[in-house]
Structure 1
């Protein structure tokens, strides 16, 4: 009988503790003041709503400061066009380089020689960066096929090696120009 009494006392104590915790919890939170997500007290806000509100505030502030909104929009459209031009330069282009020409990179361009034997071209003592081998290729030295070549500064490039019967095929990312040798 002693075991049954102890079990009953433990169960009664736990029940009282749970009941007391629930009652005190409701009093602290203020019964009936529970906030439901999506209600008036806690609204769900969408990105489009925030975008509209910010746009309205910006328009209001611009008009207060006397900024011509049409002129500002035209300027922003011009910036977008410039950005689009820059991004289109990031696509890879296949360029055929005839024997009589050299492919000269602009700042930041990247080349990969795919077909033909190429040599580096540089108008100064500096070479071009072979990122695949981690080496510098100086003027007149062979450029390996399928290696990523970086041109941090423009004015350097590649051309077909002497004695070659056909031109080069080069993958180009960035701005470049074909120059007469």
Structure 2
């Protein structure tokens, strides 16, 4: 009888402790884990839609005035006008390298991704990262965040390859010489 009473009391005390909220579950207002801020601080330190538009416009103005690397081609915009697309024909043995921020759309032919490091190429249309050596689908928008990445004809390609390019690029022959587009 005493043992049953002891076990019942032990079980009840365990249940009560398990249902009691701890201090970790309810942070103290104004502490480091739950800071209290004023409305003016919040308004001064958050980005409004107008601030975002202003930042984008100033970044576009700054990039429009930038210079392109030597030996590269492509459009440069003025103000907020986007750079024009250039059509480049890629021939067997050539590699088309993108400048930082350039965009490619492969219109025809079969090409594979090229990268000087382990990072791939963002395929915006497909919503994935394309690793080096992977075939790229036609009509997909590729954005190149850094130099050193590009595309080249797939080994079994027999079709003409045409690529729409926005931004700076470098077209190299198989021997490393610069090709004329």
Q: Is 2:97 the counterpart of 1:104? A: yes
Q: Write the mapping of 1:3-14 to structure 2, written as runs, cut at 5 A.
A: none
CA apart distance, 1:83: 6.9
Q: What's 2:76 paired with? A: 86
Is this contact kept in 2: 1:98–1:166, CA < 8 A? no
Query: Counterpart of 1:158?
Result: 151
Structure ranking higher in helix proportion:
1
Deviation at 1:161, TM superposition (A): 0.2
What RMSD over aligned residues (CA atoms) do the two structures have, in Å?
A: 2.4
Secondary structure of the residue that 1:99 maps to in structure 2?
coil
* Structure 1 runs, 4 residues or longer, greater than 2 Å off: 81-86
Aligned partners of 1:106 and 1:153 also within 8 Å: yes
TM-score, normalised relative to structure 2: 0.52
TM-score of the superposed pair, with normalisation by structure 1: 0.52
Question: Aligned equivalents of 1:175 and 1:110: distance in 2?
Answer: 9
SS at match of 2:132: coil
Question: Which structure 2 residues correspond to residues 35-74 of structure 1 after superposition, within 5 A?
Answer: none
| Correspondences of 1:106-121 after superposition (within 5 Å) | 106-121=99-114
TM alignment of 1:134-153, pairs within 5 A: 134-153=127-146
- Alpha carbons of 1:165 and 1:135: their partners in 2 closer, same or farther (altered >3 Å)? same
Aligned residue pairs, count = 102
Structure 1's unaligned 5+ residue stretches are 1-78
In the TM superposition, what is the alpha-carbon distance from 1:139 to its structure 2 partner? Answer: 0.4
Where structure 2 has 5 or more consecutive residues not aligned to the other structure, the ranges are: 1-61, 68-74, 175-181
